[in-house]
Structure 1
Amino acid sequence: MEFDDAFANAAYIADGARYPDKWAAQAAQFRASARHEPDIPYGAGARLRFDLFHPVRPARGVVVFVHGGYWRMFDKSYWSHLAAGPLALGWAVAIPSYDLCPQATITQIGDQIASAVSVVAQRVSGPIRLTGHSAGAQLVARIGAIGPNAAWKSRLTGVFPISPVADLTPLCRTTMNADLGLDAQEAHAQSPLNMPAPACKVEIWVGADERPVFIEQSQYLAKYWGCGLILEHGKHHFNIIEGLSDPIGALTRAVCYEEIHVAPIG
């Protein structure tokens, strides 16, 4: 199908099929030496857990990273190494899992992530920064824009969608919709392009070498929300998130509001 190809990533990335194993290995190696609390529950379901990584000094605030996988794949165990950058700059990092489609709808997953952030906010004081990748970018954009009306929203100081799926309507015409179960009403309601901009700093990141649909949707969302857009050269859908593992990486500095001269803490 035409829309299947538009949203295909691995087929257009060299060694794309090897990335999940690479992520899992890097994440496991990082967890082996990181100061963290694993599997903190934020709900009753077996997947409603997050890992909380702590810096060596009292945290300046917390970064919440929400993973992608088209709401159908992966869990928190693949992404632990992406906490390295913010941790080195003194930020705690929370990485949640969530239920996957078709066991949950995208709307329900969004509610789960909002619940996760509420529990994270109880565990770590200070400002909250939300970032997520692909489907995870839709989830953080959604809770930053439209809900919930929770106490932690007053502490939300930044939302950073990375390669967001900003318009879910085309997904209704993909084969993956057999799992997603989207209809026109839910696709419209859960698309950040149909939501107001979050009431905080927003900056969208997307790789210059990504599939055209991700670049186009990022551009449309940035224009609609009136926010910043970073088109990162040399990056595709799978390696753009690597910047979060680097304390002086541009993506880490953006999420943590750091300038390049700031020395890592540690």
Structure 2
Amino acid sequence: MPVNDDAYANGAHIPDGASFPDRWVRDATAFRDAMGARAQLGLRYGPSPRQNFDLFEPERTAKGTLIFVHGGFWRMLSPQDWSHLAAGAVARGWTVALPGYELCPDVRIAGITQSIAQAVQVIAGRTTGPLALAGHSAGGHLVARMCANGMLPADVAARVRHVMPISPLSDLEPLLLTAMNDDFQMDAGMARAESPVYQPAPERDVTVWVGGAERPAFLDQARWLAEAWRCGHHIAAGKHHFDVVDPLTEPDSAMLQRLLG
């Protein structure tokens, strides 16, 4: 076994961890059904079938748009597994977009980064007002990468009010020593180039959010990014890697207060 496999394994270390994917699908389906005509599903931003996004609208004119990028180690899951995480922001009067992306090993992580940049541009073109970016785990990596100089056009970047990498992967070099790298096919240079910790600190509000009950590796990854960027760093007591995102469903949660203001 490569030396870092267990360090980045989550489900085996979370009570009843295997049940969470079914819960996510159930809750996501119920939310989409309840949204009715205010849900626009499968909108395209690129040629691949996975280059699509779901858009959820509030009842009144939107205050802005939250873009949430899902995780899954760039190898699994889809935005349709996470629709329910739009509930809190929609209730606060925000549009929420959840983009998908092609997965490793069909593409490299650098290609996924470019796909998310394309998705953010297309979503920005369909919406008005401020943007907020949030992402979980690998999605936290991807929204952090959007802060790199030149990643987004200047007019889109200027609309980004806040970025929240949640339990992010910020330094990819430890992942070279996992079996997952068979799918990533990274070398040291590729890992460093895709690591947000080596980007210049962005000139915008960023909050790194992580669960206090997460694996030590994820606590380290969050701390490394917060230290490198000298940005906000919130450790949510008692939260693990699978439930740390749950406050996105709650309109008055501290997470959404911080992210959307």
Length-normalised TM-score, structure 2? 0.97
Structure 1: distance between partners of 2:174 and 2:216: 13
State which of 127, 136, 141 in structure 1 corresponds to 2:139: 136
- Residue of structure 1 in register with 2:173 after alignment: 169
Conservation of the 8 A alpha-carbon contact between 2:116 and 2:142: yes
Shift of 1:145: 2.4
1:38-187 to structure 2, matched below 5 A, reads 38-150=41-153, 151-187=155-191
The aligned residue for residue 192 of structure 1 is 196
Counterparts of 1:79 and 1:198 in 2: how far apart (Å)? Answer: 27
Instruction: Specify every segment of 5 or more residues in structure 1 that has no aligned partner in the other structure, as ranges.
Output: 258-266
Q: Percent identity?
A: 47
1:111-146 CA distances to partner (integer Å, 9 max, x unpaired)? Answer: 000000001001110011000000000000001223
Judge which range, 139-148 or 49-58, deviates more: 139-148
The C-alpha deviation readout for 1:124-176, integer Å capped at 9, x for no partner, is: 10011000000000000001223424121111111100000011001111001
Q: What's the secondary structure of 2:134's corresponding residue?
A: strand
Alignment partner, residue 16 of structure 2 = 15
CA pair 122-246 structure 1, distance change in 2 beyond 3 A: same
C-alpha RMSD over aligned residues: 0.8
Corresponding residue of 2:30: 29
- 1:198: how far off? 2.2
Letter matched to residue 29 of structure 2? A
Q: Match of 1:263?
A: none
Structure 1 residues 147 and 25 mapped into 2: Cα distance closer, same or farther (>3 Å)?
farther
SS at match of 1:85: helix
Q: CA–CA distance in 2 between the matches of 1:132 and 1:256? A: 14
The question of whether the paired residues in 2 share the 8 Å contact of 1:114 and 1:147 is answered with no
Name 1:264's counterpart in structure 2: none
Partner secondary structure for residue 68 of structure 1: coil
Could you list the per-position Cα deviations for residues 50-98 of structure 1 after superposition, in whole angstroms to 9, with x for gaps in the alignment? 0000001101110000000000000111000000011111110000110
For the 8 Å contact 2:117–2:152, the answer to whether it is kept is no
Amino acid at match of 1:43: G
Query: How far 1:253 sits from its partner (Å)?
Result: 1.4
Write the letter of the residue equivalent to 1:20: P
Equivalent AA in structure 1 for residue 39 of structure 2 = H
**Cα distance in structure 2, aligned partners of 1:124 and 1:238:** 30
Q: Equivalents in 1 of 2:149, 2:193: separation in Å? A: 10
1:147, 1:107 → 2: CA distance?
A: 15
Residue aligning to 1:261: none
Letter in 2 for 1:83: A
Secondary structure of 2:5's partner?
helix
Query: Does structure 1 retain, via aligned residues, the 8 Å contact 2:32–2:84?
Result: yes
Specify the SS of the correspondent of 1:33.
helix
What letter matches 1:17 in structure 2?
Answer: A
Normalised by the length of structure 1, the TM-score is: 0.95
Corresponding residue of 2:235: 231
- Provide the C-alpha distance between the structure 2 equivalents of 1:132 and 1:197, rounded to a whole number of angstroms: 18
